[in-house]
Amino acid sequence: MIRVSTVRSLGVGLVALIGAGSAVVACGGESAAPTTSGRSTSTTAPARSSIPRWTVQVEARHPHDPTSFTQGLTFTADGRLFESRGLYGQSSVAELSSTDGSVIAARDLDPALFGEGLAAGPSGLVQLTWKEGEVLRWSTDLVASPGWQIDGEGWGVAWEESSKRFVTSDGSAVLTFRNPDTFAATDRVEVTRAGAPVRDLNELEVVGDRVWANVWHSDEILRIDPATGMVDGVIDAAALWTDPERSSEMVLNGIAHAPGDPDDRVWLTGKLWPELFEVRMVPE
């Protein structure tokens, strides 16, 4: 998910350039493991010791299509895995095998749409688009149904089961909560870390009673109290993929919590990543 001030509609050429290692453009304290119990450009907390931090321990690895410009990752309540893929002319929504990462089924988006975040809600899948304001709706068999329209950009989206609402990000420091039937905004909260707004909130997931948000162009995932917007935990995933061939655009951009998994275990991947990781959070 990308800021307005940057160039995002790179098209097919981005994959080739990244594969060649070119950085073409800019694209949006300790405790036990996490449980259920905003451009200010700095995303580094000045009071590091006051916020619990975790690193990731890889529990399992699965193949992932290295040409997939991942924009969102989500599990349905019955354990099916879906992915949103971006870029103009290449965007799609796909069901993936959680075993080998292969594509079970996929639907292409209109070439004029740039696919963004993806969430599994009570009536199927909801997929955002970047600048177009279109919110696409799909059944889990990837049959389209009439969608919605929103103002502004679409970056990340997740379903908050406890409050029966969607939560979205738009690259700012604000999370917007939305009605499940109309997608109308019902509430907003500014996300702060050690008192400072955190912008570039990107891919979202809800784990327990917390919203987890990746910060664009960062390997950090923030754990956020949706009632206050305060960051109360930080997951550092920098060690997950350290290949020197990884370019600055191959960012972490997929977070999914599988039904039945404990709150300290999630699935992670990113744009053009060759693997999908099951990871467990461990205190730093």
Residue 128: name the closest of 55, 56, 77, 204 by CA: 204
Predicted confidence (pLDDT) per residue in 253-267, tens digit: 999 999 999 999 999
In a domain, 3, yes or no: no
In a domain, 8, yes or no: no
Has residue 224 been placed in a domain? yes
- Calculate the alpha carbon distances from 75 to 81, 101, 125, 255 in Å: 5, 13, 10, 10
Q: How far is residue 129's CA from residue 158's CA, in Å, rounded to a whole number?
A: 14
Domain membership of residue 229 (yes or no) is yes
Query: How many domains in the chain?
Result: 1
Structure tokens at 217: 């162009």
pLDDT, residue 121, reads 96
Mean pLDDT of all residues in the chain?
A: 85
Count of CB atoms within 10 A of residue 183's CB?
22
- Residue 223 inside a domain? The answer is yes
**Residue 248 — very low, low, confident or very high, per pLDDT cuts 50/70/90?**
confident
Give yes or no for residue 45 having a pLDDT over 60.
no
Domain range for 136: 13-283
What CATH number has the domain bearing residue 236? 2.120.10
Write the pLDDT tens digit of every residue in 201-219: 999 999 999 999 999 999 9
pLDDT, tens digit, 9 for 90 and up, residues 91-130: 999 999 999 999 999 999 999 999 999 999 999 999 999 9
One-character DSSP codes across 109-146: PPTT--EEEEEEETTEEEEEESSS-EEEEE-TT--EEE
User: pTM of whole model > 0.75?
Assistant: yes
What tens digit of pLDDT does each residue of 148-196 get? Answer: 999 999 999 999 999 999 999 999 999 999 999 999 999 999 999 999 9
With respect to residue 60, please indicate whether it lies within any of the assigned structural domains: yes
Is residue 186 a part of any domain in this protein?
A: yes
User: Is 144 among the domain residues?
Assistant: yes
